[in-house]
Structure 1
């Protein structure tokens, strides 16, 4: 581009010969340098600068704000601190005329409970030191209450006068105590100690929130036994493991459980059996679904399959008069190639599917019995697989008959057999949830009889499940949200939708609500809130918008766009620098000439 300079005015004097001699064209110039070239290059450069924000906006990643501080607080609290529920215990001594110091007796009971608790660190969901013990002396001459008793739940003296069905009718006495104590609403665990002249001391744990000890026992021994009932049974559920952190929970990440019941006919050429699943649902499942509602959202499904042989082998035992399969063959019993059990719509999601299989063996291996490691035959003829489900081998009555006469005939499992099967399934379900299937608890001081409930779970067992599931859900919620927080902060270009932000917000609110219910001792409400908190945290972490995009760093983004814009931008920048440098040089030449003219 040609240089356009300002022309000299007509008023300038004519150049003399001496001025021409002193003019150096390398260091001076007589005309002022033009600004057109500099203006054009600056215009192009400024247009690039103006377009830069639009470019950055076009590649901007939307990120909804997340409460990182609240997430870190919840995650840290759940990792470092165990949740401890407040527990209220009540002890009633009946026909103990020589006891008057009820406050000292309450301290003694609390001391024994602390000894049992201090053997291991308090597990998550236990009571720890957050307990209150109320003592009542109900005798013919005294009716004394301790100072720590709650006025609404105090024992009314004389309630057991004339009641003689203590040892003979446990169910009736259990219902009578519940009508008196109303433990379902008051949430108080009670142990009644009755001083009676009999040889053996009998301990019974009811299906609500109370137990009773009957016999001629000393106060010191009774205190040891009731402390064991409070801590080992009512608080820990009869389990010896110390912490919920290492325990698997048979509940899906979304808080749902699918109970899938399957009737397998090994060889339909021998016989075909069907069942009235509606009757099984009414006997077993409906009360269970209602009882476990705070812990999980349970749905039920069933199916009947044919041509489903097992994978393991069995052998004939003349002594037992049956085919035998041992416990070492259990890992190979399930035939995953032939047993098409995962037909549920929830099998591919985050809901947990628990399979309960009723296996009908073929005539070639019938009757089929399970041999335990000690050589005895299993009474239930079934087994469980943790986190998978349970299996029962049911030998049909046709085993002892001529099976050729039953060829291709259809049979239906009788109501009596179905009831026995439902009881075994209930025991397996209890074991899958971490509870005992037998009706006895063998403790360090005595053996207690555990009454069974029609709905499969006693009230105190449901409390244990609610407390433990609350701890597990809140721990998983804190871990999931903490992982999400670290992931989002490590990937600045990760897309965070508004829906994810809302899910995280609602998850934290549900977790805080659950923690508030824990402090108040509401185990059912805390379990429901914790389940919601965990489900929302899992939904946020596995949101489709986060899983469908491959994220990359800013350096990668620069490497992608630099071949398009860097060459042009570099040339424009170099042109601006060159023109600015040229303008300064030419302007200095002009100023040098002006100074030279003034001096002369």
Structure 2
């Protein structure tokens, strides 16, 4: 009877351990976090610049006027310009950079000869419409001809369709080469330096430039909100023809820039928009003024409802502020104490503000379409700065010799020229590629460092598609297909950020192993102690019985 009891007891203890042996793997399998395999090696290659070479090829087609009395040989002009531009670019921009991160910028140059009569017919009254144009980003036409007057300065006439005419007073091959080389380097050096700095910035601790602080981080869409803020409606009621103004002055710019980012525009009027501080008062001239130190505190974020309720994309706010009667007229002073003519200021990565002091005699004021023309002009200038649009020819003018005079053909009513649009496109492509790589690298590190993070199949798919679009963007850049390169870079950053910010990846983020121990130990420790004690007793009893038999 006692032997049967021992056998039953041992079977009971064994059954517990059998359940544990089969239950542990089942528990481990059912509680493990699903993690789809990510291409860590490929992401590492991209982050180490091993998977691609970033190139922004630029083609300049140069037409040189054929002058009958000239004996100049232009056979080597193309190769001489290529060598000159490449060497100066390397010296000016990459002299201190690590060779590992030097990216090539191509400047192939072609030379063609045009008859002099064609030049005179095509350039009457500064009209460039009869000259050849190119429709592709990265391709530009320069027309070179001898000057017809005694002015020793070089004259550059900039067209709207990726073309420019250069009039050179001294018709000499060396002068022509230097003039064209100076012009091209001055035009593209700031852009290339900005691209290089953006590439190197994640790898260095260099100071952030003012321009990068002002420009918005890239987004496929922005919400643009125009707000008319009235300080005191009890004294003055205000209104504005903002819809007509947007359609007339801004819509063409919105359409043009939509290739890079879509702009959604809305407007509002808010009353009782008081300031959080009292502006300074100049009693002798009876006006109020704001100093540069007060401008950062101008926005009353606590009471002014400026948050967009219709979009989750970044918002650009443009405020037309009408002060109350007891703070009118209100002006902005610069650092030297002079009243600013525009009476406006820019808030980096946020928007812009214009202060207007309308006539209060009638108790109401409507900002008409004509009155809004100058206001919208300032807003568009501020919007250009926030979106990163650079006036490339003005920047080049500062870098060129004082003997070079630059004139402009009247630009179209789009608030952005083709030269500026091309430059912005290239900068945004570089920004998107680098941001995509940085985001994927961060995702890779996060998944590696947190073993409990969920990685579902759709995240794996987004990562693979992001890498594929990165490869396509770089390939299209190499082939001088900037529109396709921009499209794939936009897709790459959207997919990379979608994978990184996917809500399913956060579910196990705050459930580490310490939490598991805290949950399971109170359950399993009280059970395991009797089982271990019982197992120890049975082993001890088995050994004693074995000795007794011997």
Q: TM-score range by the shorter chain?
A: 0.7 to 0.9
Give the Å deviation of 1:447: 4.5
Q: Is the 8 A contact 2:94 2:102 kept in 1?
A: no
Please show how residues 75-154 of structure 1 align to structure 2 within 5 Å.
75-77=47-49, 83-96=54-67, 97-104=70-77, 106-108=79-81, 110-112=83-85, 114-121=87-94, 128-139=104-115
Selected match of 2:139 from 188, 192, 200? 188
**Does the residue aligned with 1:243 lie in a helix, a strand or coil?**
helix
Please show how residues 148-547 of structure 1 align to structure 2 within 5 Å.
159-165=118-124, 168-169=125-126, 172-173=127-128, 175-177=129-131, 180-181=132-133, 183-185=134-136, 187-198=138-149, 199=151, 200-219=153-172, 220-234=174-188, 236-237=190-191, 243-244=197-198, 245=201, 246=208, 247-248=212-213, 250-251=215-216, 255-310=220-275, 311=277, 313-316=279-282, 323-346=288-311, 349=312, 351-374=313-336, 376-396=338-358, 398=359, 403=360, 405-407=361-363, 409=364, 411-436=365-390, 440=394, 441-445=397-401, 446-451=404-409, 452-547=411-506
**Does the residue aligned with 1:495 lie in a helix, a strand or coil?**
coil
TM-score of the superposition, structure 1-length normalised? 0.78
Unaligned runs of 5+ in 1: 6-33, 141-157, 593-600
Q: Is the 8 A contact 2:215 2:388 kept in 1?
A: no
Alpha carbon RMSD of aligned pairs, Å? 3.4
Unaligned runs of 5+ in 2: 202-207
Report what 2:16 is aligned to.
Answer: 44
Mapped to 2, the partners of 1:317 and 1:225 lie a distance apart of 56
Indicate how the Cα distance of structure 1 residues 555 and 364 shifts in structure 2: closer, same or farther if over 3 A, else same: closer
Report what 2:205 is aligned to.
Answer: none
Mapped to 2, the partners of 1:51 and 1:284 lie a distance apart of 72
Q: Is the 8 A contact 2:57 2:138 kept in 1?
A: no
Report what 1:2 is aligned to.
Answer: 2
Report what 2:204 is aligned to.
Answer: none
Mapped to 2, the partners of 1:240 and 1:516 lie a distance apart of 21
Deviations 1:513-551 (A, max 9, x none): 222222222223222322222222222222222335453
Q: Is the 8 A contact 1:113 1:231 kept in 2?
A: no
- When structure 1 is superposed on structure 2, of 203-212 and 455-464 the one drifting more is 203-212
Mapped to 2, the partners of 1:47 and 1:332 lie a distance apart of 68
**Does the residue aligned with 1:162 lie in a helix, a strand or coil?**
helix
- When structure 1 is superposed on structure 2, of 189-198 and 365-374 the one drifting more is 365-374
Q: Is the 8 A contact 2:122 2:130 kept in 1?
A: no
TM-score of the superposition, structure 2-length normalised? 0.84
Indicate how the Cα distance of structure 1 residues 395 and 127 shifts in structure 2: closer, same or farther if over 3 A, else same: farther
**Does the residue aligned with 1:258 lie in a helix, a strand or coil?**
strand
Q: Is the 8 A contact 1:428 1:437 kept in 2?
A: no
**Does the residue aligned with 1:138 lie in a helix, a strand or coil?**
strand
Give the Å deviation of 1:331: 2.0
Report what 2:39 is aligned to.
Answer: 67
Give the Å deviation of 1:369: 3.5
Q: Is the 8 A contact 1:262 1:357 kept in 2?
A: yes
Indicate how the Cα distance of structure 1 residues 44 and 373 shifts in structure 2: closer, same or farther if over 3 A, else same: closer
Q: Is the 8 A contact 1:75 1:482 kept in 2?
A: yes
Give the Å deviation of 1:134: 1.2
Deviations 1:344-364 (A, max 9, x none): 433xx4x21111111223444
